[in-house]
């Protein structure tokens, strides 16, 4: 028997039988037929002992310049619009980085999508080919979960989607999406034989609560076993790489079992946290429940690889980091084709048994490799005991080992990356502050009854934002293949907390007044020190200010906060004599502050950085110009 796919791949759609060759032209039929009906030569019919039944399809010779039409679509992956920011509800396709027919690998940038906060990259989580772009560039206000593209594993399957319509894709049997493939794998343990012995329940996994989060720490449980949960209630507080964030549950139920106790740290994404049931009488059934699911990967590098059981957190999305080399899994990832993942899930096969042993490039697992798993012994999976948060440890009183917070870990990682990959250079200038101090005193007298107090830092934020409008190169970021220039100024302000450095954002700082900026800074700084910042309040930003003047630091050079291109370091005010030809003795006393601009030389040239400082100095030394 020859399959449709076999005939599809024959060059020029010619069939060979013995010494005879003939070309065929097949039309669309509604029932299975036999190829022998088209063989007109008896001698050919005698030499061809085969028949062929198939679903309706059509093949034409190149003479007619027509394409192949498939009425049963090959295996494919539906790519849905993901949430690329914590508050994103819809997006705009800015551009497709791959075209129909292009191949891509895991981690490749597929498209740039504009969210409610910024333009972000949509990356592939597996290898494949772009078969169909459903939503073209420039389409605006696309709801989350909208089908935007179709990917296939085999290049030969691309032709099947050339003329396919959206209605056909919707009516076709559901294919796993990028998110569904991984989510279904995470759900598999909850549908195991053990789980089926329990009443219906919701197995809540640790979700990605920030775009860069890879692990989390359970700070506290806001609910206890047996407590009733209302829609939107906070179930737990989880420390991410940036702040402590509440894990909200968007349904009603009862907390039946807590699987991870308070203080457990460095939990990988996808770790089972608790069990929630709909009926109160089902709580008792989970008293001795032990989670028997497969241990999650140690460090999944994309938020799309966790199933978000708490809908209060945005749906999981591809993030900016992926394992780049296929083959043997590093960090717990197993490389397999979408079809192999789907079949393995249906057949109950653990892909970890075949890790690195597939027939694909560098050991990538394909569908045909799953037969090997039957002959292998089933591995006994051991769930590693998470490290429990500990107090500082002293050994013989000679030193103290202090456990790292998640914020400290991610700060160390990002700043190391910044210094190693960004070509820094530094520009320093002295700014006279007397007019700012005089104007600040006047404003504070006016605002005294309202309880608002404007600081020097508020003037610095406003002057920096206006300077970014004058020199937009400083309000840009390096994106490997292009430079992104921002049209609004979202000012990140460095705040020191007990757990590490964090940068809350003053959005649209260029359009806000000093009083509004002051109120935002006070509120965000308080939330930062209490660990209550929400992800959208510190993720992003286009320019950063770091002020150590209150500690008496004269001047310093700050490390750029990637992917931003600049950061301004502000020193302490000091009284000095400066030349002044207008005075009788030729000099006068002034209050000076040294500021240092750190620039990414890939984005901001030296002269451009100097121009930015000129504008900043002008605004600070003549603050009334900020009103223009």
SS3 assignment for 482-500: CEEECCCCCEEECEEECCE
Give 279-287's long-range contacts (Cβ < 8 A, gap of 24+): 279/199, 279/254, 280/226, 280/228, 280/254, 282/199, 282/200, 282/201, 282/254, 282/256, 283/225, 283/226, 283/254, 283/255, 283/256, 285/198, 285/199, 285/256, 286/198, 286/201, 286/256, 286/257, 287/257
Tell me, yes or no, whether 10 and 114 share the same domain.
Answer: no
377 domain-assigned: no
Q: What pLDDT does residue 14 have?
A: 37
For the segment 302-327, what is each residue's pLDDT rounded down to a tens digit? 333 333 333 333 333 333 333 333 33
- Span of 108-117, 245-254, 307-316, 364-373 with lowest mean pLDDT: 307-316
Tell me, yes or no, whether 128 and 146 share the same domain.
Answer: yes
Confidence of residue 329 (pLDDT cuts 50, 70, 90): very low
- Span of 124-133, 165-174, 238-247, 614-623 with lowest mean pLDDT: 165-174
Q: Which helix (H) or strand (E) holds 9?
A: helix 4-9
Tell me, yes or no, whether 447 and 577 share the same domain.
Answer: yes
For the segment 227-286, what is each residue's pLDDT rounded down to a tens digit? 999 888 888 988 887 778 888 887 788 999 999 988 888 888 888 999 999 888 888 888
Give 204's strand partners.
274
Q: How many domains does the chain have?
A: 4
Smallest Cα–Cα separation from 101: which of 145, 154, 64, 172? 154
Give the whole-angstrom CA distance, residue 605 versus residue 603: 7
Q: What pLDDT does residue 143 have?
A: 87
Q: What pLDDT does residue 393 have?
A: 62
Residue where a domain stops, chosen among 121, 155, 175: 175
Q: What pLDDT does residue 571 have?
A: 95
**Whether this model's pTM surpasses 0.95:** no
Tell me, yes or no, whether 276 and 130 share the same domain.
Answer: no
198 domain-assigned: yes
- Mean pLDDT for 114-130 is 81
Q: Which of 102, 227, 251, 601 is catalytic?
A: 601
Tokens of 246: 């509440």
What CATH number is associated with residue 109?
2.40.50.100
373 domain-assigned: no
Tell me, yes or no, whether 506 and 566 share the same domain.
Answer: yes
Range of the domain at 20: 4-70
- Span of 352-366, 415-429, 532-546, 576-590 with lowest mean pLDDT: 352-366
605 labelled catalytic: yes
Tokens of 355: 């890790």
Residue 391 clears pLDDT 80, i.e. is over it: no
Is the CB of residue 253 less than 8 Å from the CB of residue 276? yes
Tell me, yes or no, whether 20 and 168 share the same domain.
Answer: no
Residue where a domain stops, chosen among 115, 146, 175: 175
361 domain-assigned: no
Residues 6+ apart with CB under 8 A from 483: 476, 477, 602, 603
8 domain-assigned: yes
- Span of 209-218, 506-515, 604-613 with lowest mean pLDDT: 209-218
Residue 99 clears pLDDT 50, i.e. is over it: yes
497 domain-assigned: yes
- For residue 181, report the phi and psi dihedrals to the nearest 5 degrees: -60, -45
Positive or negative CA dihedral for 205, 206, 211, 212?
A: negative
What percent of the chain is predicted at pLDDT more than 90?
Answer: 30
Tell me, yes or no, whether 553 and 621 share the same domain.
Answer: yes
Give the helix ranges, DSSP H, for 261-405. Answer: 338-347
Tell me, yes or no, whether 200 and 58 share the same domain.
Answer: no
Quote the distance between the C-alpha of residue 323 and its chain's center: 14
Query: 10 Å Cβ neighbour count for 504?
Result: 23
Is the CB of residue 108 less than 8 Å from the CB of residue 124? yes
Q: Which helix (H) or strand (E) holds 258?
A: strand 253-258
Tell me, yes or no, whether 618 and 529 share the same domain.
Answer: yes
Confidence of residue 432 (pLDDT cuts 50, 70, 90): very high
393 domain-assigned: no
DSSP, collapsed to helix, strand or coil, labels residue 98 as coil
Residue 230: Cβ-neighbour burial (10 angstroms; 0-12, 13-18, 19+): exposed
Tokens of 144: 């989350």
Please, what is the average pLDDT of the chain?
75
The DSSP string of 351-362 is GGGGTT-SSSGG
Tell me, yes or no, whether 119 and 206 share the same domain.
Answer: no
Residue 366 clears pLDDT 90, i.e. is over it: no
Tell me, yes or no, whether 450 and 304 share the same domain.
Answer: no
- Mean pLDDT for 87-108 is 86
DSSP 8-state code for residue 59: B
65 labelled catalytic: no
Tell me, yes or no, whether 571 and 422 share the same domain.
Answer: yes
Q: Which of 116, 156, 580, 605 is catalytic?
A: 605
Residues 6+ apart with CB under 8 A from 472: 485, 486, 487
Residue 97 clears pLDDT 70, i.e. is over it: yes
Residue where a domain stops, chosen among 175, 198, 213: 175
371 domain-assigned: no
Task: Catalogue the E-assigned strands of 14-171.
Answer: 14-17, 20-23, 57-58, 69-70, 77-80, 90-96, 103-104, 109-114, 119-123, 128-133, 142-143, 147-152
Quote the distance between the C-alpha of residue 333 and its chain's center: 17
Q: What pLDDT does residue 513 have?
A: 92
């Amino acid at each position: 028997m020859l399959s449709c796919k076999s005939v599809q791949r024959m060059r020029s759609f010619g069939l060979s039988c013995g010494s005879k060759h003939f070309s065929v032209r097949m039309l669309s039929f509604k029932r299975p037929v036999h190829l022998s009906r088209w063989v007109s030569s008896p001698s050919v019919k005698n030499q061809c002992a085969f028949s062929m039944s198939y679903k309706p399809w059509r093949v034409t010779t190149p003479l007619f310049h027509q394409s192949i039409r498939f009425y049963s679509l090959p295996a494919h992956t539906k790519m849905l619009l993901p949430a690329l920011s914590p508050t994103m509800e819809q997006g705009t396709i800015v551009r497709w980085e791959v075209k129909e027919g292009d191949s891509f690998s895991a981690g490749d940038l597929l498209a740039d999508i504009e969210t409610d906060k910024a333009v972000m990259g949509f990356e592939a989580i597996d290898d494949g080919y772009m078969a169909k772009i459903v939503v073209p560039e420039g389409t605006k206000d696309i709801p989350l979960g909208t089908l935007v593209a179709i990917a296939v594993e085999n290049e030969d399957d691309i032709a099947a989607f050339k003329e396919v319509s959206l209605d056909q894709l919707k009516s076709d049997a559901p294919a796993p999406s990028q998110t569904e493939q991984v989510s279904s794998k995470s759900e598999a343990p909850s549908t195991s034989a053990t789980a089926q012995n329990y009443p219906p329940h919701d197995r809540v996994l640790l979700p990605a609560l920030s775009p860069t989060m890879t692990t989390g720490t359970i700070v506290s449980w806001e609910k206890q076993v047996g407590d009733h949960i209302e829609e939107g209630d906070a179930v737990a507080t989880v420390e991410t790489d940036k702040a402590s964030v509440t894990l909200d549950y968007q349904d009603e139920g009862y907390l039946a079992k807590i699987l991870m106790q308070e203080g457990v740290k460095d939990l990988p994404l996808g770790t089972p946290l608790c069990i929630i049931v709909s009926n109160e009488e089902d709580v008792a059934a989970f008293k001795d429940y032990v989670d028997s699911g497969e241990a999650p990967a140690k460090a999944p590098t994309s938020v799309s690889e966790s199933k978000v059981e708490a809908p209060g957190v945005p749906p999981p999305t591809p993030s900016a980091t992926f394992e780049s080399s296929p083959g043997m899994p590093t960090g717990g990832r197993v490389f397999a084709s979408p079809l192999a993942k789907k079949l393995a899930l249906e057949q109950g096969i653990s892909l970890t048994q075949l890790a690195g042993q597939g027939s694909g490039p560098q050991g990538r697992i394909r569908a045909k490799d799953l037969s090997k798993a039957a002959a292998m012994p089933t591995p006994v999976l051991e769930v590693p005991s998470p490290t429990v948060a500990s107090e500082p440890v002293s050994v013989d009183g000679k030193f103290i080992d202090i456990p790292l917070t998640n914020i400290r870990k991610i700060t160390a990682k990002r700043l190391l990356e910044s210094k190693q990959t960004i070509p820094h250079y530094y520009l320093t200038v002295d700014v006279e502050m007397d007019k700012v101090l005089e104007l600040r005193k006047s404003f504070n007298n006016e605002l005294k009854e309202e309880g608002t107090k404007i600081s020097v830092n508020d003037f610095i934020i406003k002057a920096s934002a206006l300077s970014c409008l004058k020199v937009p190169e400083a309000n840009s970021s390096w994106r490997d293949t292009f430079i992104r220039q921002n049209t609004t100024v979202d000012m990140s302000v460095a705040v020191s907390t007990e757990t590490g450095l964090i940068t809350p954002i003053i959005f649209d700082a260029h359009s806000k007044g000093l009083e509004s900026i002051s109120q935002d800074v006070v509120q965000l700084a308080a939330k930062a020190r209490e660990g209550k910042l929400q992800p959208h309040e510190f993720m992003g930003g286009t320019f950063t200010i770091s002020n150590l003047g209150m500690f008496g630091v004269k001047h310093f050079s700050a490390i750029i906060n990637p992917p931003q291109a600049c950061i301004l370091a502000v020193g302490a005010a000091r009284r000095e004599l400066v030349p002044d030809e207008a005075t009788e003795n030729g000099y006068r006393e002034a209050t000076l502050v040294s500021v240092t601009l750190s620039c990414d030389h890939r984005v901001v040239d030296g002269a451009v950085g100097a121009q930015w400082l000129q504008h900043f100095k002008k605004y600070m030394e003549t603050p009334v110009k900020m009103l223009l």
